[in-house]
Structure 1
């Protein structure tokens, strides 16, 4: 999952919770209906809402300020503001003042669109809107997947280390732009970066039933991207996954077709335990744990169709399962302030494999927005980790 889906999740879980609230009166049928609603939300791509409105703007000398109302307007750090149904994009500085429900931020730059009073949008962590903004040489390519060709960006470092590559995997409901914050520290380490789209993205084929496989199905697109890197000369590949992209990266590294060439994982706000996560999302709206479990069982059995034809194997998506199969170093960026994918599952994975997993745990930072709170230590640790990865002994360089 990723920032663009947060509002849609709240809407759907709220609907499921409302059904669940009446389940006691209508019995088993009501409980199953609630479970179906919650299960579909987990796998159906949806457009996110625009929960923030520009309430006031002010120009002072060469600086422009904006007053915002709405969800996430007061998050600490600097952010993208995507408005007018994503036609507009602005970059906003940290909160300068918060009073009476309104938040003041400086408008650092408007990249596209016209930012005016009344504009609606959402706060996001993207910051970069295209790979060219990073200052590296970029190729726009396609790579073959089991479902057809998918778009990708190939980003070359200034001084490439021979045969070292990384594949960047965005989260659920997001776009490849989400991962661009992670490219620069790896490029400084001499790594060639492949930023991919995957099934159900614009520029990529639709998945099974047009739905997500919560990281399992998507991991096969990660495998296909690794194969593309190998065809282009890679000998070892680092996976960099965000949210559900972290799930897909873990699956690819532990049981994927090309797991033998993966030298390490970098995970930002990863979804490591989907059973616990879906129960947590349901609990936010006071839906009983039993309702969430019904939805999970329906997805597992394939009764509610997801992105895997035989159903989604939730037993594979736990910290304990991943811990048993991990063979390469892992860096996890997580936050105690993540209210969407709580950090406890990442902590369980780190505790289970202290020999391989390095957990960088922040006090502040919402889901997939840890870079935005303080980018310098985030990038420094990421670059140091990437530089430290040992070459797999069975691969040449």
Structure 2
């Protein structure tokens, strides 16, 4: 998803120079527009067994991750940290099995929490299908399970793509359900191309509702919506408004945005930006003329994108997996979300991890929590 805290930190110096209005315009664009990739320098060392990459909080995090080489379009799996140099310039990590035909990445790489890279790495029984929408088709990966009557819809966040959800498909795989990983209108692979700006889930949920309809048409009696980051926003809206909401048995949310207003405000506070600045940004995004200028088809409604200030808005059994050290969507927001919806929401504090990297920090813990909870809620529904 959009790293609001980092964006605000980079742009904060603009306030004195250009004034609050100029800052708010810049930040509003950053929130709804896709930003450039954040590449890092890399080098294969140790007879091809390790990769040396620029050191930062993300590249030194424990767990397994991936490296994407933009020159070849290929990925490389990397494992645990081997060493960090004394000057804190780079970290060396173990190289896992590389993609066929790729001996080593180029000099500049993209760091990613994706460790599967291709659908075949998650499950052999998969295919790409087209989900009909109001504007055309939205491609989706379908992973056939032994239980065709229960489907999981895996919903990615903003400015990522479908492959980022392979970790989620892997976590659910032991249950034997059918999995569908859809795209939505701000993704580049929908046909014909649609939105160049994110509506923060406000319109994207319609495409996920189409995915639910596809599942029901192909035998789904019960549906689990699993949304990460902004995908959590989309899952919540779909559960409220779907034409098939009676089939939605539960939600699994990972590092979810349950209040865009509070997420943006928290990011501003951590970056040292006055709350008035964050407020002005949101007022701009709610203004029809400004929203249209940013390529939004409708202004954003931050009240509709908030499940914290309205008590008991959530009616579907919901599991939230969230790291207490998430710096992009603070853990405290999920705690407030659970407090506002105590009957519906179960909150699990995940091991220390960056935003939506709870699986990477401990795949076994993540998988056990998710599958155990899903089994319980489905058994309760059957009883």
Residues 179/118 of structure 1: CA separation in 2 closer, same or farther (3 Å cut): closer
Q: For 1:338 and 1:86, how far apart are their aligned partners in 2? A: 32
1:68 equivalent in structure 2: 53
Q: Deviations over 1:123-158 (max 9, x none)?
A: 21111111111234112100112222010011012x
How many residues align structurally? Answer: 378
Secondary structure (helix, strand or coil) at the match of 1:151 reads strand
- 1:182-201 counterparts in 2 under 5 A? 182-201=168-187
Q: For 2:41 and 2:17, how far apart are their aligned partners in 1? A: 34
- 1:211-360 counterparts in 2 under 5 A? 211-305=197-291, 309-320=297-308, 323-360=311-348
Question: Is the contact between residue 20 and residue 34 of structure 1 (CA under 8 Å) also seen in structure 2?
Answer: yes
Q: For 1:377 and 1:363, how far apart are their aligned partners in 2? A: 9
Q: For 2:305 and 2:326, how far apart are their aligned partners in 1? A: 19
Secondary structure (helix, strand or coil) at the match of 2:252 reads strand
1:179 equivalent in structure 2: 165
Q: For 2:379 and 2:234, how far apart are their aligned partners in 1? A: 22
Structure 1 residue runs of 4+, over 6 Å off? none
How far apart are 1:14 and its partner, in Å? Answer: 4.6
Residues 354/85 of structure 1: CA separation in 2 closer, same or farther (3 Å cut): farther
How far apart are 1:381 and its partner, in Å? Answer: 1.1
Match of 2:97 among 98, 109, 112: 109
Secondary structure (helix, strand or coil) at the match of 1:181 reads helix
2:155 equivalent in structure 1: 169
Q: For 1:85 and 1:302, how far apart are their aligned partners in 2? A: 40
How far apart are 1:11 and its partner, in Å? Answer: 7.0
Question: Is the contact between residue 5 and residue 327 of structure 2 (CA under 8 Å) also seen in structure 1?
Answer: no
TM-score when normalising by structure 2: 0.91
2:15 equivalent in structure 1: 20
Residues 140/271 of structure 1: CA separation in 2 closer, same or farther (3 Å cut): same
Secondary structure (helix, strand or coil) at the match of 1:389 reads helix
How far apart are 1:209 and its partner, in Å? Answer: 5.2
Q: Deviations over 1:42-83 (max 9, x none)?
A: 111233221x21145112xxx701222143221121111112
- 1:353-372 counterparts in 2 under 5 A? 353-372=341-360
2:140 equivalent in structure 1: 152
Q: For 1:301 and 1:173, how far apart are their aligned partners in 2? A: 23
Q: For 1:85 and 1:329, how far apart are their aligned partners in 2? A: 44
Secondary structure (helix, strand or coil) at the match of 1:142 reads strand
TM-score when normalising by structure 1: 0.88
**1:380 corresponds to 2:368:** yes
Residues 302/48 of structure 1: CA separation in 2 closer, same or farther (3 Å cut): farther
**Greater CA drift, 39-48 or 288-297:** 39-48
Question: Is the contact between residue 154 and residue 193 of structure 1 (CA under 8 Å) also seen in structure 2?
Answer: yes
Residues 42/64 of structure 1: CA separation in 2 closer, same or farther (3 Å cut): same
Q: For 2:125 and 2:190, how far apart are their aligned partners in 1? A: 23
Residues 346/374 of structure 1: CA separation in 2 closer, same or farther (3 Å cut): same
Question: Is the contact between residue 186 and residue 204 of structure 2 (CA under 8 Å) also seen in structure 1?
Answer: no
CA RMSD of aligned residues (A): 2.5
How far apart are 1:287 and its partner, in Å? Answer: 2.3
Q: For 2:104 and 2:180, how far apart are their aligned partners in 1? A: 36
Residues 392/375 of structure 1: CA separation in 2 closer, same or farther (3 Å cut): closer
**Greater CA drift, 64-73 or 280-289:** 280-289
Q: For 1:155 and 1:117, how far apart are their aligned partners in 2? A: 29
